[in-house]
Structure 1
Amino acid sequence: MNNAPHRPYVMIVGTGGTIASSGSGTVDYHNYKVSSTVEQILSSVPEVGRLAELVTDQPVNVDSFRIDNASLLKIARSVEAAAADPEIDAVVVTHGTDTLEETAFFLHLVIRTAKPIIVVGAMRPAGSLSADGPLNLYNALVVATSEAAWGKGVLVVANNHVYGARDLVKRDTSAIAAIEGSKYGVIAEICGDEVHFAHTPARPHTLDSEFVLSSIQQLPVVDIMFDHQGAGQHLYQASVAAGSKAIVVAGMGNGSLSAGARQGAFLAHQAGIPFIRSSRTGQGIVAPLNSDAEFGIITGGSLTPQKARILAALAIASGKKSDEMQSIFDRY
């Protein structure tokens, strides 16, 4: 009789990024290229094999700044298939940090499972001095195989910390501690082979989300505009003319709009497409204003512009109408 303890099965979904890259030398931290498959990444970190039985999938293998709507859906379908497999106990997604927060938030809203889904990346390429990818990957497996990680939605691991997919941000261009939890902070810390949770994500996600990935064939174009002093309306005109299905503006302060951006809201209103106010400050809650009602402007709450874009695209792809969008942003 075999009394050996159960070894969890974890699917590693590789998508590329710095964690799968190499440069011209050990101190080349910027001019590197994706060079490794997910299997090659795992072979360079054999320690992860003692934590779980590993299987792999490679839906894409690119820098994360190259991920488009079609790639995002392809990644999500790979994760969804893995999560639905009764033999798989958890999923780890290796991903570039440039757009990690967007992919993680999308998965957080569409993968209907209580199983741990962990997204992990690196700030330094694999062959560089003091590369962070190997330990980040090991720590991702520590979290993925922890019973405490079940039911908490999509989590992101970086630098011995765990963040909720909704609230994490990349705060630095190249620092090793670029991934942060915004003002909502770290939700868990990894110590050795244990993860210690201090908080639980409060907004709906995964099993509590109303969004169904299988019903989405493609994601609509949603543009982000960066507002500033003296901004014009020409970019808004171009966005509407190009057929954008929604516009997110990274407004000043509390999502304040310049005269040009205000005219852009009018153009969007005329075209019948949602116009969402977020903030270029990077954190804080964008509060509703009395002036929003004139053009049906939607407030993005505490979502960054890039995450407001993800939520808007997902809502539109799921058949939500303009008059339903504010309640969507209030809920998620």
Structure 2
Amino acid sequence: MAPSSLRPLPQIVVLGTGGTIAGTATGDPSLPGYTAGVLGVEDLLKEVPTLGSLAQIQTEQVANVDSKDMTFAVWTRLAGRVMHWLAQPSIQACVITHGTDTLEETAYFLSLVLPLDKPVVLTAAMRPATALNADGPQNLLDAVRVATHPEARGIGVVCVLHGVVHAARDVAKINTHAVEAFSSGERGPLGEIEGEHLRLWRRTPPESGAPFALPAAEAWPRVELLSNVAGTDGAVVRCLVESPCLHPRLRGLVVAGTGGGTVSRELEAALEAAAAQGVSVKVASRVGPLRGGDDDGLSAVKLRVRLLLELAAIGTPLRP
């Protein structure tokens, strides 16, 4: 018997949150109709029997939702369970199954609240588990390979999809149907997984200010996301700031601006008035990540995630 075969398998945990990877077809499995978040994480692992040769795996079902329905309450619970498992010396890494719609937001959120010493690998699928050409099993296998690979130590939070390793900060969904639906933009991915081999080309530096404190499920501030488009004025901003439904809970506004993060003159005036009333205002670009400044490289949706945690951490007073 070879000496390597005597080594104990690494121990990891796989947490399920639902998504298309856990979806089932409502009719003909060759057609696109399906319901997300049906199967449990144990069912997903049964479809990849070779996982047992890679790791000793424990599982936990944190949620089972379509990721378009992701909530702060699920985020809080998910992060708490990841922290619980990774605090155990025997656990080497955590893999999370997730839906594709908000995968990039959840990944970036986790990168801001978790320590970076053990890998946290998110994976997903563009086709439901019952599809004839389901991509979930291979993505799950690749995710476990990355999570258990010695080179992944200290890699932080990453997304593994279609054989590609993406940084949480950079990954974005760019296609609604192709299996190669994610990109890392100009920076490019961190690496790739090919068979048993992991090739890492770069690593991402720690996020400034991280790890942020994890907000309680009921203590998340309200931060709205707007976009600057032709004909935009300041009416929506004024309504948000003055709305009795949101006041005084509205704590921040993120705007996906045109070009290099520009906004119309009327919208700019309304944003300045909102800031004067204590609302934190941030501007990204709807074209792509801006360069320079503390928010370098963040899309509007990720800038919102960061602002949520910044406001929760500093305890910005609610407006009178």
Q: TM-score, normalised by structure 1?
A: 0.87
Give the paired residue count. 308
Q: How far off is 1:66 after superposition?
A: 0.5
Contact 2:124 2:136 in 1 (8 A): yes
Q: Which amino acid aligns with 1:129?
A: L
Q: Which amino acid aligns with 2:123?
A: V
Which residue of the other structure, out of 24, 28, 32, is the alignment partner of 1:25?
28
Which residue does 1:148 correspond to in 2?
151
Contact 2:120 2:157 in 1 (8 A): yes
Q: Percent identity?
A: 33
Q: How far off is 1:246 after superposition?
A: 0.4
Contact 1:104 1:155 in 2 (8 A): yes
Contact 2:113 2:212 in 1 (8 A): yes
Which residue does 1:310 correspond to in 2?
305
Contact 2:73 2:218 in 1 (8 A): no
Which residue does 2:118 correspond to in 1?
115
Matched, 1:259 2:265: yes
Q: Which amino acid aligns with 1:222?
A: V
What SS is found at the alignment partner of 1:123? Answer: coil
Runs of 5+ unmatched residues, structure 2:
none
Which residue of the other structure, out of 42, 50, 56, is the alignment partner of 2:59?
56
Which residue does 2:212 correspond to in 1?
211
Q: How far off is 1:301 after superposition?
A: 2.8
Q: How far off is 1:37 after superposition?
A: 0.5
C-alpha separation in 2, matches of 1:72 and 1:191: 31
Which residue of the other structure, out of 184, 200, 203, is the alignment partner of 1:200?
203
Which residue does 2:166 correspond to in 1?
163
Q: Which amino acid aligns with 2:314?
A: G
What SS is found at the alignment partner of 1:239? Answer: helix
What SS is found at the alignment partner of 2:65? Answer: coil
Q: How far off is 1:216 after superposition?
A: 8.1
Which residue does 1:46 correspond to in 2?
49
Which residue does 1:223 correspond to in 2?
224
Q: How far off is 1:128 after superposition?
A: 1.1
Matched, 1:183 2:214: no
C-alpha separation in 1, matches of 2:274 and 2:206: 29
In the TM superposition, structure 1's runs of 4+ consecutive aligned residues that sit over 6 Å from their partners are 214-217
Q: How far off is 1:31 after superposition?
A: 3.8
C-alpha separation in 2, matches of 1:6 and 1:65: 39
What SS is found at the alignment partner of 1:199? Answer: coil
C-alpha separation in 2, matches of 1:152 and 1:48: 21
Q: Which amino acid aligns with 2:195?
A: G
Runs of 5+ unmatched residues, structure 1:
289-298, 323-332
Q: How far off is 1:259 after superposition?
A: 2.5
Deviations along 1:80-102, one digit per CA (max 9) or x if unpaired, are: 11111112111000000100000
C-alpha separation in 2, matches of 1:27 and 1:173: 17
Contact 2:18 2:36 in 1 (8 A): no
Which residue does 1:280 correspond to in 2?
286
Q: How far off is 1:192 after superposition?
A: 0.8
Deviations along 1:232-270, one digit per CA (max 9) or x if unpaired, are: 222212322323110000000101101332133123212
Q: Which moved more, 1:217-226 or 1:91-100?
A: 217-226
Q: TM-score, normalised by structure 2?
A: 0.90
Which residue of the other structure, out of 166, 174, 178, is the alignment partner of 2:177?
174
Matched, 1:82 2:88: no
Which residue does 2:17 correspond to in 1?
15
Contact 2:100 2:124 in 1 (8 A): yes
C-alpha separation in 2, matches of 1:276 and 1:45: 43
C-alpha separation in 2, matches of 1:149 and 1:166: 17
Which residue of the other structure, out of 236, 245, 251, is the alignment partner of 1:245?
251
Q: Which amino acid aligns with 2:38?
A: S
